[in-house]
Structure 1
């Protein structure tokens, strides 16, 4: 049996899609904070169990019978709270007799104990100390933070604002990372390792060309010198510092094929039907 924690989130649902293409639905269990939000999974034959990161007793019950557990990192942003949730989940998995844990960590969590990787670093150390068999899937930033329907505005205006200083971006799409997780969960030979996942390096100059090719309209990259609002501004600062240029072959090696290309991602975004306006 394969159990997924935090399974009702966007990433968890993508992993379930991949698992259902590889194994019977009755082998898949979705542990969620609110089972009422997962009625669609029940309808697909997936067993849905209550599993709340803030209630360890529910986690022990949710993880019972699991040969493999995909421990999807908590969406909690406060580091101490997140670490506590992850430690409780690992301890619950050990108490429930889970065979092996696959944890969605973050790139460089093994070497950087502070900042965005702090909770992941602490969780990796707790997993090691637990003595449980485990596999680490260190994710990069999601490509969707940069590649999203907002790019349609660049096509409409013919200009792509760029605050990255021309540096490379090594993000990966959720879908590719979800497929990789499903492969690890279902292929014995992939277990017991630490994977440092990155997508193929791309730049905003390449993105502008990809938008032009996909739309049939010229799109020109334009340097933006003011800071983008909110999280986007912080992300662009990371790119400008070179923090998103690390490259490995781990993702294509686990997938068994190249990750989604920039052109494929852009084409999917521009051809996706926009949601209808409310009446």
Structure 2
């Protein structure tokens, strides 16, 4: 049996769709009323360790999907609750959705992921870390008034679509040879000017709209910090990952 934590979220639902025809899968959710349809559901709240132990009971493998909590100390506490519960429940192996850079990053955005990876290692549980990039879904360019604009300085992005990352997670959960490994997942490198050229529309660089998460991310992109590339995602998928240009063509020319 495979248990998917935080299964009511977008990633968890996609993973379950890939798994439901392959193996026995259980959704662990904070609110059973929001559980995905078609699979058994158990209450598993990251803030309630007892519920997690019950939700994880009998799991051969657990997909520990990272908490959406933005406060780092609280997110770490929630993840540690889940790791402890997995150990106490006798889970066979933990697959954790981490983030690129978490292997070494102990501050900033990767702090909670790094702390969780270390907690999983200390637990002694067999594990696999799936270090995700940013989701392409949030960055897909839109043609507005005949042009594409961004504040990325024309630099590359290594984002990947949530659906590809979900399929990769399902493959790891049901496959062999993944334990003890940390995968750095990156999608095919792309840029806004390249997508504009592929669509035959102009590209224009614009200033950031103002302070906020996207302004920070744009600064990271302009600094070339999202240009890391590996073949881990393609290797786990057994096929090339979906490109942003292909997805944009589908949207622009359905």
Question: Does TM-score exceed 0.5, indicating one fold?
Answer: yes
What count of residue pairs does the alignment treat as equivalent? 254
Matches within 5 A, 1:1-279: 1-23=1-23, 27-38=24-35, 40-41=36-37, 44=38, 46-147=39-140, 151=142, 154=143, 156-210=144-198, 212=199, 218-227=200-209, 230-270=212-252
**Please, which runs of 5 or more residues in structure 2 have no aligned partner?**
none
How many angstroms apart in 1 are the aligned matches of 2:147 and 2:75? 39
The list of structure 1 runs, each at least 4 consecutive aligned residues, that deviate by more than 6 angstroms after superposition, is none
Structure showing the higher helix proportion among its residues: 1
Name whichever of 4-13 and 188-197 sits farther off. Answer: 188-197
Over 3 Å counting, the alpha-carbon distance change for 1:264 and 1:240 in structure 2 is: same
User: Once the 2 structures are TM-superposed, how far is the Cα of residue 184 of structure 1 from its aligned partner?
Assistant: 0.1
**Please, which runs of 5 or more residues in structure 1 have no aligned partner?**
213-217, 273-279
Deviation per residue, 1:220-272 (Å, 9 max, x gap)? 10011344563222211110111100000100000000000223211333367
How many angstroms apart in 1 are the aligned matches of 2:30 and 2:174? 25
The RMSD of aligned alpha carbons is 1.4
User: Once the 2 structures are TM-superposed, how far is the Cα of residue 191 of structure 1 from its aligned partner?
Assistant: 2.8
TM-score (norm 1): 0.87
TM-score (norm 2): 0.96
